[in-house]
Amino acid sequence: MGEVEWDNAVGETLEAEKNPGAVLERPKVLFVDDESHILKAVNRLFEDEPFEVITCASGEEGRKWLQKERFAVLISDQRMPGMSGSELLQWAQMESPETVRIMLTGNNDVNTAMDAINRGAVFRFVTKPWEREEFLHLMSLAVEHHELMVSKVRYEAHIERQNEKLRRLNDELESRVEERTSELVAKQQEVVGLYQELQTSFDATIRALMAIMELGEIQMVEHCRRTAERVNAFVEELGWPLDQQRDLERAARLHWLGLINAPPGLFAKTVDEFDAVERATWDFHPLLGQQAIQLVPELREAGRIILHYLHRYDAPEPREADEWEGEAPTPELLKKCQVLAICSAFEQVRTRIAQTVPGETDAAAQAGAEFLKRERGRAFDPELVDRFLVMTHGERATSKNREQEITVAEVRVGMVLSRPLQTIQGIPVAPRDMIVTEGLLARLRRFQKASGLQSIFVWI
């Protein structure tokens, strides 16, 4: 049977699969032997068996039958005029692979039969004369083997159909995703453009997020910068690994990102002085900050620190059900959160006092230390508070207690503003105690050129 016939045979089998009510024909057996009495014996042998037996007297005739019919089993004598049994079986192996092949031999042809089995051309061999029950049992095995091969083809065809369905579904899904993606890209081209630019540098990502924070309250950015410097110093004091220092510094630089839309008066108050709206804004800002950066892989750990940094030391450990991320924070994570909380609280108090009483830098630092002492063992880890207070003991501001008025042209990177800076129209530009950076200096020059600045005072 050629390739076309084999495909047709598979098609018929698959058609039957799709139509369970279809009646499959009885298995056909082709018996080839040049001795007429053998053929008659075979017809008698299978007379009551569930097989349809066709006999022929030569290899050439057997080949013609195989070319026009489907056979479950082919049995061929080895010694025949013209085409031998082994030649017919080898041809059937190539042209009708689903047909199970059995060689009928005399005792002198056993080696030939064994060789055919080893080459895969023959399923079994039967010696003449055969024993009736053994022969019938062998036929049952051969038909069963044929059905297994057909089932295998049917199964593979079924799998291929399922795979084709999956490919079509996948193509359809991809088409829908592409369509939806195109819509999103069309709506967010500015964001995509910014994202592509930021791929060249992770530091640029941090700077961009801090620039976004400056759109809210500029004091936020300066607080985060100071907190990051304080965190770096504290982590070095604790002797923690560099990777923990990196994650904590990133968290410190961005931990107030969720306060970008906070009421302006919030930053001048203590938590106890907040009204209901300010309190809700404060309690919710860690989640907003974490969600804003969670899709940036390098900021994922920083986001988890931000998410939990307000967790009090004396509060129960957060349960899994309380977590926005679906998992409870580990003790190691809560320890890092405490470091950020202590540094942020210290800088928040110190800055508020420094703005209230200009020039009293010692008093501002002492007020921050007193706040940590009051909350030791309550909001903050007592061991970490003690280490922090030892580190900041006797601390003095890096700037001296004398200020000087200068022009924009005289401002240099590294100077510290001694008073809040505003435009002529009273628009806030920078808070008191802010360190002049390249970015701030460029902004001052732009404001001076566009609308003018009020007097600039720096510590000297």
Q: Which residues of the chain have pLDDT under 70?
A: 1-25, 107-110, 113, 116-121, 181, 184-218, 318-327, 355-362, 394-402
Rounded to an integer, what distance in angstroms lies between the CA atom of residue 454 and that of residue 407?
10
Return the CATH number of the domain spanning residue range 399-460. Answer: 3.90.105.10
- What pLDDT score does 402 carry? 66
3-160: CATH topology is Rossmann fold (3.40.50)
Rounded to an integer, what distance in angstroms lies between the CA atom of residue 256 and that of residue 217?
10
The 10s digit of each residue's pLDDT in 261-292 is 787 778 778 888 888 888 888 999 999 889 88
Helical ranges in 239-330 per DSSP H = 242-254, 276-293, 300-308
- What pLDDT score does 12 carry? 47
- What pLDDT score does 377 carry? 94
Tell me whether the CATH fold assigned to 3-160 matches the one assigned to 197-397: no
- What pLDDT score does 428 carry? 78
Beta-bridged to residue 73, according to DSSP, are: 29, 100
Question: How high is the mean pLDDT of the chain?
Answer: 79
Rounded to an integer, what distance in angstroms lies between the CA atom of residue 86 and that of residue 192?
71
How far does CA 244 lie from the centroid of its chain? 24
* Global confidence as pTM: 0.46
Determine the residue type at 395: E
- What pLDDT score does 193 carry? 53
Neighbouring residues of 93: CB distance < 8 A, sequence distance ≥ 6:
101, 120, 121
- What pLDDT score does 153 carry? 82
Rounded to an integer, what distance in angstroms lies between the CA atom of residue 78 and that of residue 83?
9
Domain extent listing, the chain: 3-160, 197-397, 399-460
197-397: CATH topology is Hypothetical protein af1432 (1.10.3210)
